[in-house]
Structure 1
Amino acid sequence: MTKPDVAIDIDHVVKRYGSVTALHNISLDIRQNEFFTLLGPSGCGKTTLLRCIAGFEEVSDGSIALDGSDLTPLPPHKRPINTVFQQYALFPHMTVEENVMFGLLNSGWSKYEAVRRADDMLKLVQLDDFAKRKPTQLSGGQQQRVALARALAPRPKVLLLDEPLSALDLKLRQSVRVQLKQLQRETGIAFIFVTHDQEEALTMSDRIAVMGNGYIQQVGTPKEIYEAPVNRFVADFIGETNLLDVEVISVVDGTASIKLPGGQPFSCPAAAVVNSGKGHLSVRPERMSLCAQEEGDLIATISEQVYLGTDIHVQLLLADGETMAIRLQNSESLSIPEVGKTVGLKLEAGAARLLVD
């Protein structure tokens, strides 16, 4: 059945390589005009899923549909989908314009139409002044934009991007992220972006699917993924977090009553229904502050301070041997007790979250 707002419908997809299952029963709806990111560590299955969408890999079970039409039996060149890879694979003997035109001419476009379309695409990626240059005369970021122009030229319905920023240095990656998101808005098509870089995913995506061990762990907006992880894997992979082993007393209507490592009672949201017993409390480093011992939810000893310019990271040790970290914004008024001092730790209201494995 056609889903009007859905560009790509991934329905119970399984991918096996012999006895190894790389994708376990994956189901996702990727919406029209959405910047959707597949995020996870190496070997989690994100690139395999992207290759299945592109048609470079055949699914073992399940189906993939585009605008309600089953893509599964179609070879890659018959799918209205293009891919930008980590290596841009530009032809070094061709000009920028010829690189963008290449696929169009091979698809039957006239030279006149191909030239006009290439010119439009190079204007879109702000490289029209570089049309007659060779790829070796361009920077890495410019080459990446040529690859994007070439992929967008045939008017694909969906664009797949397999870690296309990984070869760029940090400052260039940060600049290109903004350009890439703007480009997605201007073209009005769905972008499916694969990365292991959490900052890339958080800054560019409309929604993120966090993958681990061939499974979808969680799907949500960047804020949902960061603020409300559903399990320990997601909390630990996205950004920094403190994970404390705690005793669970009860969970009622999504609110957990627990005992902190020092024995203090505490209430917090729970990611899932957890039976009484052990659980993990997730607290982001920026969601805690130092205070007097008697005012703290936890008591800890400062073991290290790390100056990072905009922030100062403070490492702490609890009485039971567990370690914690907090991140404090640097300012003239900031005063941190020296290493070895015992302090209180105050958890921001709503900052802690009870998780299960």
Structure 2
Amino acid sequence: MTSSDIAIDIDNVVKRYGAFTALHGVSMQIHANEFFTLLGPSGCGKTTLLRSIAGFEDVNEGAIRLYGNDIAPLPPHKRPINTVFQQYALFPHMTVTENVMFGLRRSGWSRIEAATRADDVLKLVQLSNFADRKPAQLSGGQQQRVALARALAPRPKVLLLDEPLSALDLKLRQAVRVELKQIQRETGIAFIFVTHDQEEALTMSDRIAVMSSGHVQQIGTPREIYETPINRFVADFIGETNLLNVTVQSVSEGTAQVILPSGHPFSCPAATVNSDGTGHLSVRPERIELCPAGGGDLDVKVESQVYLGTDIQLHTRVADGEKMIVRLQNAQSTILPEIDTVVGLKIEAGAARLLAD
């Protein structure tokens, strides 16, 4: 891969605030034309990394390159990078068009050039019919798209998005996700998106970097992150998973032989293994089938049911006290077991994964 294929190259970046280290030697490459997401809980370092790319934070060690060029010496306004923040900061006294034109005019664009470009980006975000309105006359989703148009107007080489959907309600967030991904495809530039919302990351991203305590835990496609987590943190943070304590008998060529809490032997892929012969079996709730007691991989007692509309969750417990969640599709053919009954659980072949602490 050539430097022209890499929009942002983050090379062993360290960021400290006094005695606190926010980023511990972070390295990653973000491709041109890619929707890349930094995902993690609050305080994991994702926003610090985004601000470092934008130039709002100076790094203590390492380098950040834009298409092969070191951008560390450049102040934020000299970097061909724009940011969309959580707060859209639109000028309330200006129309939508004037808001989009403002930065262009400050950068030396003529009024005619700026107006033409504003028209173009408002078409891109489907707001041409709202060009003469003030921000107060727009919905939250429309204001978000104005902020996006304003950031895209100067034709940045990379667009940074710092949790820009957090102020929207759920249905509007879901709709804007689709629009945002489509806009990224149409512009053909790299979007770097920061969120703590796993569903946002899975539905929008080409690749995801999962972060924790200033470290990158795993980088991969949404499917790779969800299906083949590299450790317990990633498995537990991305979606729902069951983590069963198991005894590891052997590991060979990436396949582990383990003993389940039921005492049954079980074979599964192994990501990482503890040195003491223990581990955690990660099993997604939707990868488990119900069967009669004694007919599966382990027996559980049904404790409760949670109705989710499209799905139904069964909360169950293994004999040794560990909880297991089973997710069943809500269909007319679905037969739910009674509370306090014992049922068997059969783990889908290849669906479980052995992880270390």
Q: TM-score, normalised by structure 2?
A: 0.99
Tell me the alpha carbon deviations over residues 69-119 of structure 1, each in whole angstroms, 9 at most, x when there is no partner. Answer: 001111000000000000000000111100000000000011110010001
The runs of 4+ residues in structure 1 deviating greater than 3 Å are 273-276
Q: Secondary structure of the residue that 2:257 maps to in structure 1? A: strand
8 Å Cα contact 2:273-2:279 kept in structure 1 = no
Matched residue, 1:283: 283
Matched residue, 2:75: 75
Matched residue, 1:259: 259
Aligned runs of 1:276-355 on 2, under 5 Å?
Answer: 277-355=277-355
8 Å Cα contact 2:4-2:67 kept in structure 1 = yes
Matched residue, 2:6: 6
Q: Which amino acid aligns with 2:27?
A: S
Q: Which amino acid aligns with 1:231?
A: N
Q: Secondary structure of the residue that 2:4 maps to in structure 1? A: coil
**What displacement does 1:42 show?**
0.4
What CA distance in whole angstroms lies between the structure 2 residues aligned with 1:265 and 1:300? 17
Q: Which amino acid aligns with 2:248?
A: V
Tell me the alpha carbon deviations over residues 260-308 of structure 1, each in whole angstroms, 9 at most, x when there is no partner. Answer: 0111111100013554511010000000011012321011111111111
What CA distance in whole angstroms lies between the structure 1 residues aligned with 2:229 and 2:104? 44
> Percentage identity across aligned positions?
74
Q: Indicate yes or no: 2:199 matched with 1:195.
A: no
What CA distance in whole angstroms lies between the structure 2 residues aligned with 1:308 and 1:130? 37
What CA distance in whole angstroms lies between the structure 1 residues aligned with 2:275 and 2:331? 43
What CA distance in whole angstroms lies between the structure 2 residues aligned with 1:339 and 1:273? 35
What CA distance in whole angstroms lies between the structure 2 residues aligned with 1:10 and 1:211? 14
What CA distance in whole angstroms lies between the structure 2 residues aligned with 1:309 and 1:179? 25
Q: Indicate yes or no: 2:270 matched with 1:270.
A: yes
8 Å Cα contact 1:254-1:273 kept in structure 2 = no
8 Å Cα contact 2:273-2:354 kept in structure 1 = no
8 Å Cα contact 1:251-1:275 kept in structure 2 = no
Q: Secondary structure of the residue that 2:184 maps to in structure 1? A: helix
Q: TM-score, normalised by structure 1?
A: 0.99
Tell me the alpha carbon deviations over residues 125-181 of structure 1, each in whole angstroms, 9 at most, x when there is no partner. Answer: 111111111111100000000000000000000000000000000000000000000
What CA distance in whole angstroms lies between the structure 2 residues aligned with 1:268 and 1:294? 20
Q: Indicate yes or no: 2:39 matched with 1:35.
A: no
Matched residue, 1:175: 175
8 Å Cα contact 1:248-1:275 kept in structure 2 = no
What CA distance in whole angstroms lies between the structure 2 residues aligned with 1:62 and 1:10? 8
For structure 2, the 5+ residue unaligned runs are none
8 Å Cα contact 1:298-1:346 kept in structure 2 = yes
8 Å Cα contact 2:273-2:355 kept in structure 1 = no
Q: How many residue pairs end up in the alignment?
A: 357
Tell me the alpha carbon deviations over residues 188-232 of structure 1, each in whole angstroms, 9 at most, x when there is no partner. Answer: 000000000000000000000000011000000000000000000
What CA distance in whole angstroms lies between the structure 2 residues aligned with 1:265 and 1:275? 20
Deviates further, 306-315 or 198-207: 306-315
8 Å Cα contact 2:125-2:149 kept in structure 1 = yes
Matched residue, 2:138: 138
What CA distance in whole angstroms lies between the structure 1 residues aligned with 2:333 and 2:155? 55
Matched residue, 2:222: 222
